Amino acid sequence: MLLLALTVLLALFWNTAVSMVDIWSRSETFAHGYVIAPISLWLIWRRRQHLLALLPQPQLLPCLLLAAASLLWCSARMIDVMVVQQFAFVSMLPLTVWAVLGWLPTRAMLFPLAFLMLMVPFGEVFMLPMMNFTADFTVAALRLSGMPVYREGLTFMIPSGQWSVVEACSGLRYLIASFTLGLLYAYLTYQTWWKRLVFVLAAIATPILANGLRAYMIVMLGHYSDMKLAVGVDHLIYGWVFFGIVMLALYWVGSYWREDEPQVPDALVQAADVAGIAWVRFVPLLLCMAMGPLAATWLARANPLPAAAIQLAPLAGWQVQPVQEGDVMPNFGRPATVYRQNWLPPSAAPVGVFVAWFAGNADETPLISSGNQPFTFEAGVDWRLLQQTTVDSSIGPVRQMVVRGASGTWLMQQRYWIDGKFESNDYRAKLAQLAARLRGQYGQGAAVLVYVKIGDTTEQAQHTLQLFWQSQTPALQQSLQHALDASQ
């Protein structure tokens, strides 16, 4: 019965399961997802003698939790949040075990079942904070060493050359690998909960600090070798060797507090006639499991929505100019409509305006996605994101980015427009999309980016963009509202 329920679960959420495997295949950061399920099964097999002594007692409570997880999956699917869909799907695996076998067997397998959550490729949200920490740590260590450093965002210069903290330098791979191995080591090595907790916290903190030290050592190695060492593939090799040494040291220290697992005598298998009650509760189990896919099918739209045109009329004093070669070109996937134009305000630099309208059709990429970038990666054009933060302004919070390309350094500000309101936070924007979908809309919205080349000071560029928002927001609001009305 358990195998049948898990088979039905996998069939219902097959596309979500495949999406996880796709990420494991193309991303080295999450390649460990392939071994999580085998490790979980092995951990359960180690406790087989204890499990044989526990009688299955099918329960209805986890069925309600299954229904909640299934509906959460449906909500995430409506607004294209893949990671929440994946978490909801994986959480239904232990809930199915609980519903079929009951609480006592599930409690005996609680860690192996919870360990399955590591199959979800999650963690990229920590990429930018870890890159900033690595840059802060490295620059501070260099200055403590007496090295003069000039820093601009994630790029810094020392007398021997220029260095940049890129995604591979963030230490996210080290952190995920350390956390995964740390959880497994703590479960197998200790028996008291506080020792397990302390070791897992150490497995989180150690790679973060070690990655900062690794980056500092690589910069110093490159500096004292006249940029001959640690600037190519050996850069990554040194990093993984150093990480391996640090992890071995962590486990060696942790072994001093080892607690052996108590011996469990061979269990006497007890027989019980629970098949009748189990099959009676099996149908509600399947219905609760299928609530999300059924609701998603019912809410699905058969006909695509029309792509509404975005027309913006500059106010008095503003002039429209064509887009120049070398200007920033935001990359927002496949929206229904794109508006891009340069506006020249009075006595200021030209302001680039980019509006990507998403009608909520199936062939579009999501409005809010980690794949959306403030610039397009082009062959031969070295665009770099130097800084990203959220700043307060007279029209509310805006996401602000500093990017550099061959044509210079640009200041960009971004806001989302959903259901008649502007929003700068990705999570609140997603919730606004969900609320609109529940009211019968289809998640229509727009990403609005404005950008200006940084001249003498960043403050001057910020003032120019503030001038745009203050004078053009009403016209922009009216145009986007017209596009929303036209697409319903």
Nearest CA to 105 out of 58, 39, 152, 139 is that of 58
What are the residues whose beta carbons fall under 8 Å from the beta carbon of 127, sequence distance 6 or more?
167, 170, 172
pLDDT digits (tens, 9 = 90+) for 450-471: 999 887 778 888 888 888 888 8
Give the pLDDT confidence score for residue 273 in this predicted structure: 56
Q: How far apart are CA 453 and CA 408, in angstroms?
A: 7
Contact between residue 405 and residue 449 where contact means Cβ atoms under 8 Å apart? no
Give the pLDDT confidence score for residue 443 in this predicted structure: 72
Give the pLDDT confidence score for residue 221 in this predicted structure: 82
Nearest CA to 400 out of 461, 351, 339, 455 is that of 461
DSSP-assigned letters across all residues of 54-86: S-----SHHHHHHHHHHHHHHHHHHTT-HHHHH
- 10-residue block means of pLDDT along the chain (488 residues)? 93 96 92 95 92 85 94 90 94 95 92 96 87 91 91 84 80 90 94 92 92 87 73 62 85 87 58 61 88 85 59 73 80 84 80 86 75 68 78 83 84 89 88 81 84 83 86 83 74
Give the pLDDT confidence score for residue 114 in this predicted structure: 96
DSSP-assigned letters across all residues of 140-168: HHHHHTT---EEETTEEEETTEEEE--GG
185 by DSSP, 3-state: which? helix
Structure tokens at 22: 């796709």
Question: What are the CA-CA distances from residue 310 to residues 280, 358, 476 (Å)?
Answer: 56, 11, 9
358 by DSSP, 3-state: which? strand
Contact between residue 145 and residue 159 where contact means Cβ atoms under 8 Å apart? no
Pairing of β 155-158 and β 319-321: unpaired
Give the pLDDT confidence score for residue 384 in this predicted structure: 78
pTM: 0.82
What are the residues whose beta carbons fall under 8 Å from the beta carbon of 303, sequence distance 6 or more?
none
Give the pLDDT confidence score for residue 184 in this predicted structure: 95
Q: How far apart are CA 200 and CA 221, in angstroms?
A: 31
Contact between residue 153 and residue 387 where contact means Cβ atoms under 8 Å apart? yes
- The helix (H) or strand (E) run that includes residue 338 is strand 337-344
